[in-house]
Structure 1
C-alpha cells in the first residue's frame, strides 16, 4: 500500500477557501482520520498507477492520509465488494475502470449493484493495446489475428472482466466468432504484461498505460491499439489503430477514476468534487502521467463524469448479453441495449 500524508497546518487557509466556494452551498468536509482507497487489482496495473498519481493531490487538499489498499481477485469484484460493504461514512473509496463497477451485477460477480451505488470522479481514459513478446514471429496485427483464429496462442489478461479480457472478447466478436487463442488470467494488468514480456504468454491485450515501459524497453512489440487513431507516445513507434485491420471495430473510451459509495454525508461528495474540479483537473502530474503512458487526460466529476462513462458502460454490459455471458439482464440495472 501507499500512504500519502499532509497536515492541515502545512496547507494554509488559502488552500481551503476555494474548495469551500466550489462546494456550491455545502459545508466543506474536513476528514478527521485517514481515507482508504481500495484498488481491486494488484499493484502496478492501470487502476493502481493512476490512483497513485491522484492520491497525493487528494491528500494535500483534504489534509489527511490517503491509504491505497490493493485487494485483487475475481476480476476486481472482491475489493469492490469490500468497499461497498464498508460503512458509508466517506472514509472508504474504491477505484477502477468505471464500466466494471457498473456491470459486476450483469456477470453475477456482485449481486444487486449498479453505477447508482457510486459518485464517480474520472481521471483518464485508457485504450488497450495488442502486443507480443519482442521475440515473437508475428510482425503485424493481421498476421497475429490469423494465428489467434486458428492456433491456441496464449493471451495474458487480468481476467474476463478486465480491460484486457474485454478487449480480447471484442476482437473475437469483431473477427466473426470465437478465437482459438487461450486466455491466461492474472491478478492484475501488471503481471499479465510481465508474463507477455517474459514469454510466459505470447500476447497481452492489456492497457497502453500498463505496457508502455515494456514497449519502450524493447521487451514488447505493440501491433494494434483498440482505437480509430494511432497511439503516439514519446519513445515508441506509432502503434496503428485496430480499424486499419478491422474497419468496423466498435471503439469506446474506457474511463478510469475513483468511486465513492453513496450514503455518506453530502459534504463528502461536494468537497471531493470541488477538489477534483480545482486540483485534479489542472494537475500537471496527471497530465504528465497521461502523456507518458498513452492515456487520455480526461478529468470530470458528477453528472458530466457519468455522461462520459455511459457509452462504455452500455457497450460492456450489452456485449455480455451478445456473448452469452450475462446472468442478469442489463435492463434490471438501468442499462438499455439496442434491439437485435
Structure 2
C-alpha cells in the first residue's frame, strides 16, 4: 500500500525502512574511526550511553535516509543502491550537529547531554571532522562512473550547509535580518543537505543530471518547509517532543523565520518586539539566559500577535507545494512519486 497524507503510519514505515537500510552500514562506517572517536560517535548517534553501554537511541527522524533510498528507486534502481548516499548524508548531517551544539552552547539533544557537554569541546570538534571526512570516503568507495558525480553533489551541499551555519551565527549579532536573508540562510543550512539526500541516491542509480536537478529542487524546497516547521517547534514546541529547553530558539537569540517575519510586520506588537529584542541584544549572554519563563513567553506572544507564527506556517505550506511541483514531468514509478509526495505531506502537516 502506498502511503498518503491520510496514512501517517505508512509514512512512518517509509522512514523506518530508510533507517533499517542505512543504520547497519552507518554503524560499520563509524567503527572505522580511531578510539575514542568511535565511542564518542556511538554515543552521539544514541547507540550507547556515556559509559559505552548499549542504548536504544534511534539516531533521529530518518528523513534523509528515507529520501535517499526513495531517490534511488526514482531512478529505477534498487533501494540498496542509495544506501552509501544515505550513510554519507547522515554522516555530514551529524558532523554539523556536533559542531552546531558546541557553537550554540546546546546542552541537550534528543533528551541526552550533547557530546561537548559529556566529552568536552575538543572531542566534539574532532569527531565532527572525522564524520565529514568519512562521508566522502563512503561515497567514493562505491566506485563506478557515478561515484564522482555523487561526491560532487555531497561536497557542494556540505559547503552550502557550512555557509548557512555561518549566516545563522552572524544573524544572532545583527539587530535587523530580512525575511529573504533568513530564507537564504535556511535554504543553505537545512535545504542543501535534504536536497542532496533527495538526489544522491538517484545519481548513484545512474539518473541523468536534469532528473537529478529536479529531485534536488524537490529536496531544497522540502528542506525549507522542514525548517519552517522546526522554527515553529523551536519556539512553541513541547520540550518532551523536541528534547530541548522551552523557548529554545528564543534563548539562543536566533533570528528564525517566526521572529524575522514578526519584526518585518507592521503594528504595535512588532514595535514592542523590536524594542525588547534590541534591548536584549545589549545584555550579556549570561544575563539573558537567566530570564524567567514569563520573559520568554512574553516574547513568544508578541511574535504570534505580530503574525510571525502564522506566516511561518503558511510559508511551510508554500514550500511544500513548490517541492511537490518540482516532481512534475519526472519519469519515475507511480509508487515512488506517491511516496515522495506523502513524505512531504507528513513533514509539513504531521510534525506541526
TM-score over 0.5 for the pair = no
> Which one has more relative contact order, counting CA pairs under 8 Å at least 6 apart?
1
Larger helix proportion, structure 1 or 2? 2
TM-score when normalising by structure 2: 0.24
Larger strand proportion, structure 1 or 2? 1
TM-score when normalising by structure 1: 0.25
